[in-house]
Amino acid sequence: MSLSIELNQGKTSPLGASINSNGINFAVYAPLAKQLYVCLFDSSGHTEVLKLAMNNNEGGIWSLFITPLPAGTLYGYRAEGEYQPKKGLYFNSQKLLIDPYAKDLFGEFTWSERHYSQMPIGTLSSVNNAIDMPKSRVSELQPYTGAKPLHSWGKTIIYECHVKGATARHPDIPAHLQGKYLGLSHAVFIEHLRDLGVTTLELLPVHSFISEQFLTGKGLQNYWGYNTLNFFTPHKDYLVNDEIAEFQEMVSQLHNAEIEVILDVVYNHTAEAGTDGPLLSWRGLNNPGYYRSLHDNPQVYINDTGCGNTLNIDDPYSLKMVLDSLRYWVEVMGVDGFRFDLATILGRTAHGFTQAHSFIQAINQDPVLSQVKLIAEPWDIGPGGYQLGAFPAPWREWNDKYRDVVRRFWCGEHNMLPELAKRLHGSFDLFEHNLRGPLNSINFITSHDGFTLADSVSYKEKHNEANGEHNRDGHSANYSFNCGAEGFSDDPHVTALRLQQQKNMLLTLLLSKGVPMLASGSEMAHSQGGNNNAYCQNNRTSWLAWKDSQRRHPLTRFIDDVLTLRKKHCVFKHSVFLHDSDKRFAVNWFTEHGEAMQESDWHDGSKQFLMYSLHDRQLETALLIILNASDVIVECSLPKVERGNWHLEVSSVDKNTDKSTKQFNVAAQSSWVFQLI
């Protein structure tokens, strides 16, 4: 690196490192610091060659323009100021800090005592941590220019998957692409998604993340990625050639196949953890602004995330960072939307959750972000943390009540019919009150968190011993049913029932009003061996097993069949709830005798049979759906119709039933769909 450089005041916007002519402008927000430095490193990232004082500007932004300086320059920040934890101040110039706005990182993060401000405890550390820190790297991608699919919510079918786990074991994807962004955009994986009928890929976190130290000490890794190191940089382990443009390329190839990309984003906490956590970035620049703490005791972090800290979205510059990050991923990286982890935190002030929070208002008025897909995980562990149904339009929400009710019904629980009916038709009780419709409900049976679909019919209890926490982690209320044997079984009766039960839940999911989300591996009966919290299992426990038999798995064909049927019927695209006053669509409920259900039928807690029709008066089409969760055969009469006949389209059981029959025996624990022809 040439030492013949010129230094100028620099601009305060944009924040981060930006390329301007033949130089680089650096800008960082640190309002309580006494002095900020840009530290430049050689190309190896090992040697700090220059430490340059930045200039303080109004509003607490420090800036410096350095010329000549090329793209690819490696750098970090150091901050001088008070080290007073009781005041919430953690300035320590010996700690190299990642630029919160870094678009690229270079090198590996290594856990060591060098990252901690007090080492040993009670003694201010004077040890330089640069050797163990990734360096920020100056990078500037051009904005994304590809055409986006723009699928309406009524046509959206979401497939939630992990970048690595989806393709790490796929034999038809070249080895160097397996488990990478470019593996997801490989032709064979795209073909698989299209064969299923998927329109939208939802990726577990791809923001740069690190494993928690307690995991690395046990020889484990953070696999899911909910431990963010930087909000602008793609996770580098998923790159083939360490080029962040590969993410853009992946998005472009998926868009060319008419598949959208949604990111699971974690703007609720960071990898800096709690009071005894490391100094990596935000804590060392503006701890009181970036993190929420007790008003009368700033050294105590509010821990509404369960991860040690909680991002303070009430602070204007924290809010700006999150919004800038979101726009970057839309405008530069090309993504189509976001699923917000622990989204309640993003709408919580000191007085509790409000849909009028500045974050939600900012999103809704933003000309870019208001136009993308927005999905909330509407809960956290903080006070008033469960807010399902409380987000405003145009937000969608993960509906865990849907998940639990459907599972409980197919497990054979009684007294489920009234609530099941609400969930099947979009959960009007949750969304209609604030002028939203059934398409605001993201319906799912399984996700990355919890049992897989196959494990939900193979295990009664969780089996998380491999996580190293003596099976104490993970949910205990799984609403699962092992079909008569815990875990693996070669009993043909057990395996047949397990397949049938998976089909039952898939059929229910894919023919419910709302937006269906499939967890990856559901289509091939992927098992995690009963582990319902595989966040630290970066191995074959989590990676999909792509065998020839799996690619032709009966569940893959079943999903395709049901989704093909769903796409033919406009009722699933209807954006408002069905009521008796609806002029086009009607829903009717029947007993097993083909007669209209009465109030007494709904309140008969012993009933585990539900039959209903969905009519489209305009197109003169209709579906009849039958769900029998009981363990006995039910003699059934199909409801009478004025014209045409009911024709069997799909069922979870392989029966030689007359496809135009009016009466038949509904097998125990089975589901059926008829179409009016």
**Is 620 one of the catalytic residues?**
no
**Is 592 one of the catalytic residues?**
no
* Contact between 254 and 123 (Cβ < 8 Å): no
Cα(75)–Cα(82) distance, integer angstroms: 23
* Contact between 355 and 389 (Cβ < 8 Å): no
Count of residues in the chain: 677
The amino acid sitting at 432 is E
User: How many CB atoms sit inside 10 A of residue 277's CB?
Assistant: 21
Question: 């300086």: which residue's tokens?
Answer: 69
Catalytically annotated residue among 304, 341, 380, 455: 341
**Helix or strand or coil: residue 412?**
coil
Structure tokens at 415: 């007294």
DSSP string computed for 93-157 = TTS-B--TT-S-EES-----GGG-SBSSTTSB-----GGGSPEEE---PPPP-SPP----GGG--
Q: What residues contact residue 72 under an 8 Å CB cut-off, 6+ apart? A: 137, 138, 139
Handedness of CA 405, 409, 412, 413 (dihedral sign): positive
Handedness of CA 390, 513, 148, 187 (dihedral sign): positive
Catalytically annotated residue among 48, 272, 336, 377: 377
* Contact between 136 and 74 (Cβ < 8 Å): yes
Cβ-based burial of 603 (10 A; exposed 0-12, middle 13-18, buried ≥19): exposed
Q: What residues contact residue 293 under an 8 Å CB cut-off, 6+ apart? A: 88, 299, 300, 301, 302
**Helix or strand or coil: residue 645?**
coil
* Contact between 345 and 157 (Cβ < 8 Å): no
Cβ-based burial of 472 (10 A; exposed 0-12, middle 13-18, buried ≥19): exposed
Question: 């976190």: which residue's tokens?
Answer: 205
Listed residue (207, 208, 209) closest to 227, CA to CA: 209
Residue 506: C-alpha distances to residues 196, 343, 501, 509, 555 (Å): 12, 27, 9, 5, 9
Cα dihedral 649, 650, 656, 657 in deg (nearest 10): -60
Cα(8)–Cα(3) distance, integer angstroms: 15
- Residue 383: asked if its preceding bond is cis (omega within 30°), the reply is no
Q: What residues contact residue 21 under an 8 Å CB cut-off, 6+ apart? A: 67
Query: Catalytic residue positions?
Result: 341, 377
